[in-house]
Amino acid sequence: MNQGITEAQFLDQYNPKDYDSPLMTVDIALFTLHESTLQILLVERGDHPHKGRWALPGGFIDLKSDTELHDTAKRKLREKTGVDVPLLEQVNTIGNARRDPRGWSVTALYMALVPHAPTAEFIETVKDARWWPIDEVRKLPLAFDHAELVHLARERLKNKTAYTVLPIHVLKQPFSLTQLQQAFELLMDATLEKKSFRRRILNAEILEEVGEGVPEGGRGRPTALYRPAKNSEQYLFTRVFGDAVSS
């Protein structure tokens, strides 16, 4: 093929529309903790296909304005939900002939865990986008293969929580160790043993004590309150909580 022509000549006559190519999208699973539940952000589809169904926010690459794939993810999240997230993590890329009735389709799935309060403010300005408790999402008929995408992102969140100090950055500050343990348990979908949880967290030196709050249950000793220590963002547990393992 292409014998005797230069690369410049080849590129000059190259037209991507001469070839069949798949649909290429991004989808974003945005999680938060609110009212003691893990919640995920969904949008109600306004257009065909799967009009009227709830779906992860996402969409097509804009070849003119998006520089990188993760720019597409950030832009789509902002446009569809009003939420601006500094860092999105790629979970997986799924492609097949079945997932979209328009044809062979590939989607790059991203996720992030964000504090609840600031996003809620933004979301009020956007129609048809809302936080759903993760247990209710299981009962919704989602668009496309988004039930499977939600599951993949949820599993990544569980594993990630077991290895990192993620939860200390999404809780409202200051927080108690009881609140922090609840956050870890919600994110990992697991029950942790109180004593060993506290020992591991305090030994890790990722928290800074900032004062005392009202006693738990209203009586007894005041509760110590914490916020993330400086440099805690780089901290990774090298031993997992419970039985969670990396995939």
4 binds a copy of itself (CB under 8 A): no
Least Cβ distance, residue 213 to a copy of itself (angstroms): 33
CA angle 83, 138, 58 (to 5 degrees): 30
82 binds a copy of itself (CB under 8 A): no
According to DSSP, the residues that pair with 4 across neighbouring strands are: none
Structure tokens at 233: 């963002």
97 binds a copy of itself (CB under 8 A): yes
Measured from the Cβ of residue 6, the count of other Cβ atoms closer than 10 Å reads 9
Q: Which of residues 219-238 bind a copy of itself (CB under 8 A)?
A: 236, 238
DSSP 146: H
Q: What is the CA radius of gyration of the chain?
A: 22
Site size for a copy of itself, by CB under 8 A?
A: 50
Does residue 203 touch a copy of itself according to CB under 8 A? no
Nearest to 78 by CA among 37, 110, 39: 110
Which of these segments, 63-71, 111-119, 197-205, 213-221, binds a copy of itself (CB under 8 A)?
Answer: 63-71
Q: Which of 36, 79, 93, 128 binds a copy of itself (CB under 8 A)?
A: 93
Q: Do residues 31 and 111 lie in contact, with contact meaning Cβ atoms separated by under 8 Å?
A: yes
Give whichever of 11 and 87 is closer to a copy of itself, judged by the CB atom.
11
Cα separation, 3 vs 10, whole angstroms: 10
Q: Which residues bind a copy of itself (CB under 8 A)?
A: 1-2, 5, 7, 10-11, 14, 16-17, 19-24, 46-51, 60-61, 63, 66-69, 72, 90, 92-97, 101-104, 106, 108, 163, 236, 238-240, 243, 245-246
